[in-house]
Amino acid sequence: MSKLPIITLPDPLLRQASKPIETIDADVKRLASDMFETMYVAPGIGLAAVQVGVPRQMLVLDVADDDETPRPITMINPQIIESSNEMRTHEEGCLSIPDFKLDIDRPDWVRVTYLDLDGKLQELRTGGLLATAIQHEIDHLRGKLIIDFLSRLKRDIVIRRFKKQSRDAMS
């Protein structure tokens, strides 16, 4: 396993829709393992492959608390097939937008299908933090970021701040 660099705003790759994974091979399994290491070190509870520069439909999640046994989940080509009408507000952060948090309303529960690392079709119905994390990471696979929940004016302010930080880091 190795820690991968996480790309951050304003990298245009974050806005690119990820392509499905056709074959689950050793490279895909190694990427999942590296993504878990990267996510745990960051620290975070979810990470999409595009966030480490691989625009493929894979994400890793683990919403277990620090004092709990880890509960890692790898989702390949995930699809939300049903979601609740009831909404839940949760403060979300993003490893690709460091030090920025935002309250976001999302469906309280989702039903999602995905392939696991053995290529088996799985279905999961879940709520709470895991549902929020799944929706957040699937947004990444579509090129959508948490700042897209802001008004255009506020979003532009955040983007300008990150562009300036990026320029300052290069000089």
Instruction: Render pLDDT for 87-139 as a digit per residue (tens, 0 to 9).
Output: 999 999 999 999 999 999 999 999 999 999 999 999 999 999 999 999 999 99
Q: Is the pLDDT assigned to residue 170 strictly greater than 90?
A: no
Q: Is residue 137 part of a domain?
A: yes
Query: Would you list the DSSP string of 15-46?
Result: GSPPBPP----HHHHHHHHHHHHHHHHTT-SE
pLDDT at 166: 83
Whole-number percent of the chain with pLDDT over 70? 100
Q: Is the pLDDT assigned to residue 1 strictly greater than 90?
A: no
137 an active-site residue? yes
How far is 26 from 49, CA to CA, in rounded Å?
Answer: 15
pLDDT at 122: 98
Instruction: Render pLDDT for 25-55 as a digit per residue (tens, 0 to 9).
Output: 999 999 999 999 999 999 999 999 999 999 9
Whole-number percent of the chain with pLDDT over 90? 92
Q: Which domain holds residue 165?
A: 12-170
Q: Is residue 97 part of a domain?
A: yes
What CATH code is carried by the domain that includes residue 36? 3.90.45.10
Q: Of the listed 22, 37, 86, 137, which one is catalytic?
A: 137
Q: Is the pLDDT assigned to residue 13 strictly greater than 80?
A: yes
Q: Is residue 2 part of a domain?
A: no
Arithmetic mean of pLDDT over the chain = 96
Q: Is residue 78 part of a domain?
A: yes
Q: How many structural domains does the chain have?
A: 1
Q: Is residue 4 part of a domain?
A: no
Which residues touch 166 (CB under 8 Å, ≥6 apart)?
8, 10
Q: Is residue 19 part of a domain?
A: yes
